[in-house]
Amino acid sequence: MERLPYYQLLHILSLIVLIAHTFMAFANPAPENRRRTMIITGIAALLMFISGFGMLTLTKIPFQTGWVIVKLVCLIGVSALAGMAFRKVHLRNALSTIAMALLAVAVFMVYFRPF
C-alpha cells in the first residue's frame, strides 16, 4: 500500500499533461503541432491507464466496478479528442465542451462512486 501515493501522483500528473495538451490542440490545431501533441497525449493517456490499474490492484477494487468502467470510457473519450481537433478544426468548440463534460463525469465518479 505504500506505493499508492506514487500511483496517485502519476495519475494526477499525467491527467494534467493530457488536459493541457488536449486544450492546446483546441486552441491551436496547426498541422506542425500534430505529431508532438499525439505523442504527448498518447503517453499521458497510457500513464493514466497504468496508474489507474495499478491503484485498482493495490486497493483490491475489482475492475468490474461501475465507476471504474465509467472512468475508463471517459479516458478513452478524452484521449481521442486531440486527434479529432486537428482533423475537424471547425468542431473545436464542441470538442472542448465534450472534453469538459467527460472530465466532469470522471471526477464526479472519483468523489461520489455512485455505483
Is residue 56 within the footprint of ligand HEM (CB under 6 A)? yes
- The distance of closest approach from Cβ of residue 23 to ligand HEM in the complex, given in angstroms and rounded to an integer, is 14
Long-range contact set of residues 102-108: C-beta below 8 Å, sequence gap at least 24:
102/74, 102/77, 102/78, 103/19, 103/74, 103/78, 105/70, 105/74, 106/70, 106/71, 106/74, 106/75, 106/78
97 touches 37 (CB < 8 A): no
How many residues in the shown chain lie near ligand HEM by CB under 6 A?
Answer: 22
- DSSP element (H, E) containing 46: helix 34-59
Question: Residues 25, 44, 48, 82: which binds ligand HEM (CB under 6 A)?
Answer: 48
Q: Which is nearer to ligand HEM, 30 or 61 (CB)?
A: 61
Figure out which of the listed residues 40, 44, 68, 99 binds ligand HEM, where binding follows CB under 6 A.
68
Instruction: Compare residues 37 and 109 and give the one whose CB is closer to ligand HEM.
Output: 109
Which residues in this chain contact ligand HEM in the complex, by CB under 6 A?
Answer: 8, 11-12, 15, 48-49, 52-53, 55-56, 59, 61, 68, 71-72, 74-75, 78, 103, 106-107, 110
